[in-house]
Structure formats: C-alpha cells, structure tokens
Amino acid sequence: MNIVFLTIGRMNNIEDHTIYSDLLREFRNNGHNIYVVSANEKRSGGKTEIIDENGVHILRVKIGNITKCGLIEKGISTLKIEGQFIRAIKKYFKDVKFDLVMYSTPPITFAKVVKFIKKRDNAKSYLLLKDIFPQNAIDIGMLTKSGVKGFIYRFFRKKEKDLYAFSDKIGCMSQANCEYILKNNPEIDASKVEVCPNSIQVQDLRLNKSGTLAMRKKYDLPVDKKILVYGGNLGKPQGIPFLIDCLKSQEKNDKAFFLIIGSGTEFGKLESYFEENKPQNMKLMKSLPKSDYDKMVAACDVGMIFLDHRFTIPNFPSRLLAYMQAGVPVLACTDPNTDVGQVIEQGGFGWWCESNDVAAFDRCVNIAANLSEDGYRVMQNNALGYLKDNYSVENAYNVIMSGVER
C-alpha cells in the first residue's frame, strides 16, 4: 500500500523514537510505501523540500509559525495549512496514488486535505484522535460559546465535525475517548470508532543501580530519597496552579524529592514559585538533551502526570508511555473524566487522585515514598508488561490495518 501521513509537526528523522516515527517504521517494515507530509515553520527558515530517508519519503511544507507565537499569528497560519498542503501534494506527489491517508489531531484543519486525497485517489482515511478540539479550549477558558470567542468556537467545531465525517475510521486513545466522541457527535456511525491508543516501539530503558547513581550525581540530585519527576509541557492543560499547591504541601517532606523538567506558557509561574520559596527538596529544569532525559526519567522513582481538573474531555497523555518504558510507577493527578488513572491503577503500576485534591496527592506521595524495594520491583514489571501488551506499535498497526480492511 501507498500510505501518506499528514502532520503539523516537523519530522526530522524517521528513526527517532516518537509515537509517529515508531508507528510509521512499523508500516514500512511491513512492506508498505510511506510518504509523510509535515510542516516546516517560517521561524526555522523553512522552505518546501522533499527528502528520502531510509525508505520513507518526507515532504516538508513551508508554513507560517504555529508554535511559540501569538494567538492571532497561530490562528492565521493554521487556517492556511490546508491550502499549502494541497498545493504541495499536487506538485510533489502528483504521480503517487495513495491507498490510505492517516492524520492526527491536532490540528482539526486537515479536512480539505483528506477530502482531496480521498477524491483524487479513492483512498481510505484513518484519523488518530489525540486531541479533542475545540472543546478542550472551552474547558480551560481559552474559548467560550458566546461572543467573539464563540464565533471562533463554532468555526472550529464545524471543522471538527467535517474531519470526523471524512474519516473512514477514527482511532481513539482509550475507551473513554470513544464514548465521549459518540455521545457528543451522535451523527457518527459507531462502527467507525475504535480504540487505537498511543503506541511506541517498546524498549526497556530501565537503569541499573550504577546507572541511576551516575545520572543523579551528574545533575546534583539526592541519592537517598525517592525522586518524583514530571517531564513535559507546562501549559494551561496541565493545571499548573494545582501543581504548585502540591509542591507547597511537600516542602517539608524529607523522604521525597520533586524534579520538574519542561517548558511551556506556564513555566514562568513555576519559576516564580521556585525563586520566591527556594524549596530544598525540589528542582526545576527547563530542558535536557533527549538521551539524558530518557535516562533521567529512569533514574527517578515515580513519574507524575497532571491535567487540569476542568477538563470534560478524556485526555490520555502520551508521556505515560515514556514513564512505563523507563520502568517507573506513575502518579496521575487528573480530572475525573479521563480513564488514564483507571488504567494505571488496574494495571498495578501506580496511583491516581483528582487534580483538585492536594490532600489526596499527599497520601499518594506518602505511599510512593514508603514503597518497599519488592513492591517497587513489582510495579516496574507491571508497567513494562502493560506497555508491551497494550501500547506497542505492533498492536496499533494491527488495529489500523484491520479497521481499514473492514
């Protein structure tokens, strides 16, 4: 099959270990011809170019800035993407007949591109639903359903419905996602909605004792405390005010150390908290090299997930997989609508509490900090076992191919 994948992310190397690169390699390794249409932002000096890399054809399309820019610039650039992608496909892939077009959210503005490829090539289409927009923006107050922002909401809501309509299959990250989509979009045929979760090429990234000690010494972290790490985006979806309240409650905990690694629109709030309070059992870092980040997570004892309590959509953060392959138990603090906490607890590799309950967070931290070595080892094995059984790219590949064939 000739398969094209649409993404607004810049795909630098098909051999990178990301949820999309891993999945596309699985398709390539099963004998399919893979084409990628990705974005090349203006700020990167982007130009439209095509490269062939290890059997994958990557078309990078010059677009405006959609990250690290103002809302107006981002909005204008996002609206232009459909036309830019269609023109690039017509020029560079005019002689390729695609059998399958795959794409993910965000963004939801690929509907016209999908429609164009389906009509031109009689292709099947598969949506990897990673983000439910614009409702997520409503939940955290970035959009409203009335006024000027209401107009913007209704515009993108129509785009969302168009994308669902043009998709032959919709792969959701969890069962809660499936139920949410069908409940709030009753016009969708239930037979085209299925669970196709985030997936990776499973690696055992656990460190031995000497490796753990080396990483902790390299970054001046304690070797005699349980380290709880959060790594990833630090924006409005993560509910940073609640995270700060949780950190404040732990300032005198002499058994636990908290490491926060990331960047985002709310990083400044955390930075201010650290500068003003100077907590002795915590550290804030903006970034780490990818190779060191993976090792750092494995050198910690617990990985943390935070989601704003206002969410009505069932998010399922991909960073869960990074924690699992590092073999660390997971503490999830989320809204009650996502089922990520249920998965973690039923899988036997962590704990969950609501992200408006600091006392519940304290109780979970206390359990984690006092976990025995045997108990920790059981959770490690459970995390890796659950990852292999449920979130491998082999599983995702089989789900997608079965869905397309049906």
Q: What SS3 class is residue 371? A: coil
Q: Which residues of 255-276 are buried (b: 16+ CB within 10 A; e: fewer)?
A: ebbbbbbbeeebbeebeebbee
* Whole-model pTM over 0.85: yes
Per-residue confidence (pLDDT) for residue 13, from 0 to 100: 82
Q: How far apart are CA 240 and CA 23, in angstroms?
A: 31
Residue 238, both tokens: 């993560």
Per-residue confidence (pLDDT) for residue 55, from 0 to 100: 87
Per-residue confidence (pLDDT) for residue 100, from 0 to 100: 96
Per-residue confidence (pLDDT) for residue 107, from 0 to 100: 73
Per-residue confidence (pLDDT) for residue 227, from 0 to 100: 96
Tokens 């400044």 — which residue? Answer: 268
Residue 112, both tokens: 């016209």
Ordered domains of the chain (ranges, CATH): 2-201+392-405 (3.40.50.2000), 209-390 (3.40.50.2000)
Per-residue confidence (pLDDT) for residue 288, from 0 to 100: 85
How many other β-carbons are positioned within 10 Å of the β-carbon of residue 29? 13
Per-residue confidence (pLDDT) for residue 291, from 0 to 100: 78
Q: What does pLDDT average to in each consecutive run of 10 residues of the chain (406 residues)?
A: 90 86 94 93 80 90 78 78 92 95 85 93 95 90 88 90 93 94 95 94 92 94 95 92 96 94 92 94 89 91 96 92 94 95 95 96 95 92 94 95 82
